[in-house]
């Protein structure tokens, strides 16, 4: 199976369009979405319309912003910009899109006996995986060899290696326009493909991945998009200008 993997689109329809265009000739059997379709960006309905249009081709988990922006939860832990965006998104989403976001499953979600997806961590959809320790908790929570997660918006891979009864976790930041990674047999992986709509690794380009489980090969891509149009859409919606500006910094 070949999987197209997207995470953290955050209502950035311009970034999503660029990724869709870039991936249009790449073979895929399934689309995996790791949560946060909305929140921050000015095009939440367009993003959710597209996810809904995928039908059974899509396997998805919700993110914390999907939960809050669809009114399932309070914005207690959000900063004021995220809260303002969540309120606007809740008012702006059409009834079908709202219902769809509310129906997304919490995760983790098993894709195959070898593969699982989640938003934050296999432990908790709201937990972040930045460190080897946090990755170790994730590896402990599920048996799958390969797990994809989002939430940090930083493309990264945590590799769990066992030799002579000793366990070691290596961290790798995944940067660059195009990167191919061969997953080694005997190792386990927690991989973040990066964020489509709000990258935070100082590279403003949209990020996505393709994973081929037959060859155990993972491809990561960075794609430029119409950033000024995405910025304008945020400003025209009356959302905080800081949400428009951060796109340009990839932060």
Measured from the CB of residue 200, what is the shortest distance to Zn ion in angstroms? Answer: 9
Distances (CA, A) of 105 to 11, 60, 67, 87, 168: 19, 7, 10, 22, 32
Distance between CA atoms of 104 and 69, rounded to whole angstroms? 13
Residue 73 class from Cβ within 10 Å (0-12 exposed, 13-18 middle, 19+ buried)? middle
Beta bridge partners of 110: 116
DSSP three-state, residue 230: helix
Minimum CB separation from Zn ion for residue 150, in Å?
6
Write down the least CB distance from residue 20 to Zn ion, Å: 19
Pick the closer one to Zn ion by CB: 14 or 36: 36
Task: Please list the helix, strand and coil fractions of the chain in percent, rounded to the nearest 5, in that order.
Answer: 30, 25, 45
Q: CB of 35: closest distance to Zn ion in angstroms?
A: 7
Which of 107, 169 has the CB closer to Zn ion?
Answer: 107
The residue at minimum Cβ distance from Zn ion is: 36
Residue nearer to Zn ion on the CB measure, 150 or 157: 150
Nearest residue (CB) to Zn ion, 46 versus 192: 192
User: What's the closest the beta carbon of residue 1 comes to Zn ion, in angstroms?
Assistant: 26
Residues contacting 159, CB < 8 A, separation 6+: 169, 170, 171, 172, 184, 187, 188, 189
Q: Which is nearer to Zn ion, 23 or 69 (CB)?
A: 69
Give the footprint of Zn ion on this chain (CB under 5 A). Answer: 8, 36
Q: How far is Cα 66 from Cα 39, in angstroms, rounded to an integer?
A: 7
Which two structure tokens, joined as six digits, stand for 219? Answer: 């491809």
In the complex with Zn ion, which residue's Cβ is closer, 145 or 222? 222
Q: Compute the least distance from the CB of residue 207 to Zn ion, in Å.
A: 12
């Amino acid at each position: 199976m070949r999987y197209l993997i997207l995470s953290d689109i955050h209502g950035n329809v311009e970034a999503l369009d660029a990724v869709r265009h870039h991936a249009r000739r790449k073979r895929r059997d399934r689309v995996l979405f790791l949560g946060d379709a909305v929140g921050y960006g000015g095009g939440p309905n367009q993003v959710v319309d597209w996810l809904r249009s995928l039908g059974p081709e899509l396997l998805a988990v919700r993110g914390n912003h999907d939960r809050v922006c669809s009114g399932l939860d309070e914005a207690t832990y959000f900063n004021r910009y995220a809260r303002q965006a969540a309120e606007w998104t809740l008012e702006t989403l059409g009834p079908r899109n709202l219902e769809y976001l509310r129906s997304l499953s919490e995760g983790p979600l098993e894709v195959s006996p070898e593969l699982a997806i989640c938003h934050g961590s296999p432990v908790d959809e709201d937990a972040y995986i930045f460190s080897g320790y946090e990755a170790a908790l994730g590896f402990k929570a599920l048996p799958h060899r390969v797990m994809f997660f989002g939430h940090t918006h930083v493309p990264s891979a945590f590799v769990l290696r066992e030799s002579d009864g000793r366990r070691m976790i290596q961290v790798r930041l995944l940067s660059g326009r195009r990167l191919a990674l061969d997953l080694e047999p005997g190792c386990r992986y927690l991989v973040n493909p990066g964020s489509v709509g709000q990258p935070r690794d100082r590279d403003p380009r949209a990020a996505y991945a393709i994973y081929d489980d037959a060859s155990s090969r993972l491809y990561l891509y960075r794609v430029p998009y119409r950033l000024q149009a995405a910025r304008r859409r945020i400003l025209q919606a009356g959302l905080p200008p800081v949400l428009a500006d951060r796109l340009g910094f990839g932060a």
